[in-house]
Amino acid sequence: MDPGWWISLQAGAGIPDGQVRVGEPSPSTPLGLRDDLGIDSTRTLGLAIAGTFHTRNRLSFSAESISLSGSETFDKTVYFDEGSFAPGASPKSDPRFYLLKAEYARVFGSPEAVSHWLLLAGIDHAYLDFRIGDQSEDFFRQEVSMPVVGAGWERQTGKTAVFHAAARGSRFNHLNTGEKEGSTIYLNQDLLDVWAGWVWKPSPRFRWSAGYRYFLFSQTEHSSEDFNDFHVRIHGLTGALSLRF
């Protein structure tokens, strides 16, 4: 409920799970992010600007980079994009994965109350270019901005601490992209972002937060020629340092 505008530097680390598959429906190879590509950890960095107006309204804008680098030796022939990797090859996986977010939050309840409910609504846009060695798939060409809705709850737990929990998500199912590769490309796209933790404000112009985050993103695009598929689930810890300006 603090008035004014804040700038935040965010960072986090987590454990991922999921898979990627790129190429024609056959013989493209499904690859587990951890088991097949060696992506056993993630790192996130982000920058956000957030503020309040008229007490009950909050706005935030953020940009986030999610690192998914890894390396593993293949024990079989792997078909990815328009190329292949022979058994014994150990190319580096180095996807470029970014997330842009704009969000509005409406606060319910009296400003003097110990706890508040929040209604969340916004737009998220993902950018993914999945690279393995010298092969890459530009998922970002089919990605669309996602209208996101959610809810949150916060409770004062001390003079300078607030517990905060929020969940937000979106889903597109069999969306006609208007693009063609042999036939029309259809898109399935999902996002779920959950955070729970504490926010501390030791001074009027400084605050910091720490908590648990569960993040899910998936994208499947298919036509008569191609089938490209990416799923990631991340359990992680995140934190942020914020300054009021």
Q: Which domains does the chain have, with CATH numbers?
A: 5-244 (2.40.128.100)
- Give the residue ranges of DSSP H helices in the chain: none
Residues 6+ apart with CB under 8 A from 48: 7, 8, 10, 60, 61, 62, 63, 240
Identify which of 131, 102, 164 has the alpha carbon closest to the alpha carbon of residue 20.
131
176: tokens are 């006609």
Q: What is the per-residue pLDDT across 54-110, written as a single tens digit (0 to 9) for each?
A: 889 999 999 999 999 999 999 999 999 888 999 999 999 999 999 999 999 999 988
pLDDT at residue 1 in the model = 56
Mean pLDDT of the chain: 94
**pLDDT confidence tier of residue 2, bands split at 50, 70 and 90:** low
Q: The whole model's pTM is what?
A: 0.94
Contact criterion met (CB below 8 Å) for 6 and 229: no
Does 111 sit behind a cis peptide bond, omega within 30 degrees of 0 on the bond before it?
no
What average pLDDT does the segment 138-155 reach? 96
What average pLDDT does the segment 109-128 reach? 94
